[in-house]
């Protein structure tokens, strides 16, 4: 577990982080989200001690970071940046294996580990091992950045807006990759983004930050269902425009409130119309219940047609 207890950061008399307390569970995919300048990078860098709090404490598995050897700490933490920050004069293998060379793994072990990880992130080792960074697309370079961060099998991986510079297709592919990796590995991911869509898609839990203050923490569903304040409501509606929730559908009076004599599946009002479509694709004859309304596959077609 990573724990922030009453963390404050003051730079030049300006409060950058204000009394920040959260607990990130082991193996959680945890998202820090907020507008530019809200303090996300500052918080993330405190976990690997690239940045230290002015007051308050950070603990990893109950050990105060002040008492942990900084090299040991960093060997156990992978770090992925916005630009993949690969060394331009080193090939993919050399870039990926930096941490392993540091840890004095032998050449064969390095080779096997990097091959395994390149396969895992969808890069064919035979093709990519000896490529130079300038021969990679943005998405490929970012995959190598992920391989480098995972190489020594760290228990924590920090990611600072890793996909914000990518085109939408690569971004979607890499988000899916992160979900796959997180599912497969026993690793805590702390992922920074200013994109609420990304936060909702990836996060087990999300912490929303504004001007160094924690606004709300919870699962995507909890936050979407009950935003704490107007800032969060606005942040969601400004950013998560293309998501249609079932509550919007029932608000527009689709369906009926008379219980039909058919198989009924219930959806939560903050599930999306994609969830609705998924249920209907399994069985087009079922009726979907959301709150007190009953919706059929025809309602879905009408809703989509009238959007």
Q: Which residues bind Mg ion (CB under 5 A)?
A: 41
Q: According to the binding rule CB under 6 A, does residue 194 interact with ligand ATP?
A: yes
Q: In the complex, what is the shortest distance from the CB of residue 16 to ligand ATP, in angstroms, rounded to a whole number?
A: 4
Contact 30, 207 (CB under 8 A): yes
Query: Measured between alpha carbons, how far is 208 from 31 in angstroms, rounded to an integer?
Result: 8
Among 3, 20, 31, 38, binds ligand ATP (CB under 6 A): 38
Q: What x/- string results for residues 146 through 185 when contact with ligand ATP is judged by CB under 6 A?
A: ----------------------------------------
Q: According to the binding rule CB under 6 A, does residue 99 interact with ligand ATP?
A: no
Contact 162, 82 (CB under 8 A): yes
The three-class DSSP label of residue 56 is strand
Q: According to the binding rule CB under 6 A, does residue 7 interact with ligand ATP?
A: no
What does DSSP assign to residue 227?
-
CA distances from 42 to 14, 15, 49, 70, 186 (A): 13, 12, 10, 17, 25
User: Within 13 Å, how many C-alpha atoms sit on residue 146's CB side?
Assistant: 29
Q: According to the binding rule CB under 6 A, does residue 205 interact with ligand ATP?
A: no
Among 3, 20, 40, 224, binds ligand ATP (CB under 6 A): 40
205 binds, among Mg ion, ligand ATP, none (CB under 5 to 8 A by kind): none
Q: In the complex, what is the shortest distance from the CB of residue 13 to ligand ATP, in angstroms, rounded to a whole number?
A: 11
Cβ-count burial 59-74 (b if 16+ within 10 Å, e if not) = bbeeeebeebeeeebb
Residue with tokens 């058919």: 262
CB proximity list for 110: less than 8 A, separation 6 or greater:
93, 97, 100, 101
Size of the site for ligand ATP (CB under 6 A): 11
From the CB of residue 8, how many other CB atoms can be counted at a distance below 10 Å? Answer: 15
Q: According to the binding rule CB under 6 A, does residue 41 interact with ligand ATP?
A: yes
CB of 41 or CB of 187, closer to Mg ion: 41
Give 77: exposed, middle or buried? Use CB within 10 Å, 0-12, 13-18, 19+. Answer: buried
Stretch that binds ligand ATP, among 40-48, 166-174, 200-208, 283-291 (CB under 6 A): 40-48
42 binds, among ligand ATP, Mg ion, none (CB under 5 to 8 A by kind): ligand ATP
Q: Which residues pair with 14 in a beta bridge?
A: 11
Among 1, 11, 277, 301, binds ligand ATP (CB under 6 A): 11
Contact 217, 205 (CB under 8 A): yes
CB of 41 or CB of 96, closer to Mg ion: 41
Q: In the complex, what is the shortest distance from the CB of residue 207 to Mg ion, in angstroms, rounded to a whole number?
A: 14
H or E stretch at 148: helix 138-150
Q: In the complex, what is the shortest distance from the CB of residue 30 to ligand ATP, in angstroms, rounded to a whole number?
A: 15
16 binds, among Mg ion, ligand ATP, none (CB under 5 to 8 A by kind): ligand ATP
Sites of contact with ligand ATP (CB under 6 A): 11, 16, 34, 36-42, 194
């Amino acid at each position: 577990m990573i724990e922030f207890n009453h963390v404050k950061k003051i730079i030049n008399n300006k409060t950058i982080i204000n009394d920040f307390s959260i607990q990130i569970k082991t193996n959680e995919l945890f998202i820090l989200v907020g507008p530019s300048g809200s303090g996300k990078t500052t918080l993330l860098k405190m976990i690997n001690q690239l940045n230290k709090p002015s007051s308050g404490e950070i603990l990893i598995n109950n050990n105060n970071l002040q008492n942990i050897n900084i090299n040991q700490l960093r060997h156990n933490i992978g770090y992925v940046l916005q630009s993949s920050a690969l060394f331009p004069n080193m090939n993919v293998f050399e870039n990926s294996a930096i941490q392993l060379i540091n840890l004095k793994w032998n050449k064969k072990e390095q080779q096997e580990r990097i091959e395994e990880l390149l396969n895992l992130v969808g890069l064919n080792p035979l093709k990519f091992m000896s490529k130079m960074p300038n021969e990679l697309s943005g998405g490929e370079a970012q995959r190598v950045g992920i391989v480098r961060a995972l190489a020594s099998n760290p228990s924590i991986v920090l990611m600072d807006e890793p996909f914000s510079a990518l085109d939408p297709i690569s971004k979607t592919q890499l988000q899916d990759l992160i979900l796959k990796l997180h599912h497969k590995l026993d690793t805590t991911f702390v992922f920074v983004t200013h994109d609420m869509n990304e936060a909702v898609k990836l996060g087990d839990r999300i912490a929303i930050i504004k001007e160094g203050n924690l606004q709300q923490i919870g699962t995507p569903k909890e936050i979407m269902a009950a935003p704490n304040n107007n800032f969060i409501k606005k942040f969601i509606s400004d950013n998560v425009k293309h998501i249609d929730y079932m509550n919007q559908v029932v608000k527009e009076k689709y369906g009926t409130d008379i219980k039909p004599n058919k198989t009924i599946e219930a959806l939560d009002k903050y599930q999306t119309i994609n969830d609705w479509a998924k249920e209907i694709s399994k069985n087009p004859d079922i009726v979907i219940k959301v709150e007190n309304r009953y919706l059929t596959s025809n309602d879905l077609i009408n809703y989509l047609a009238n959007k």
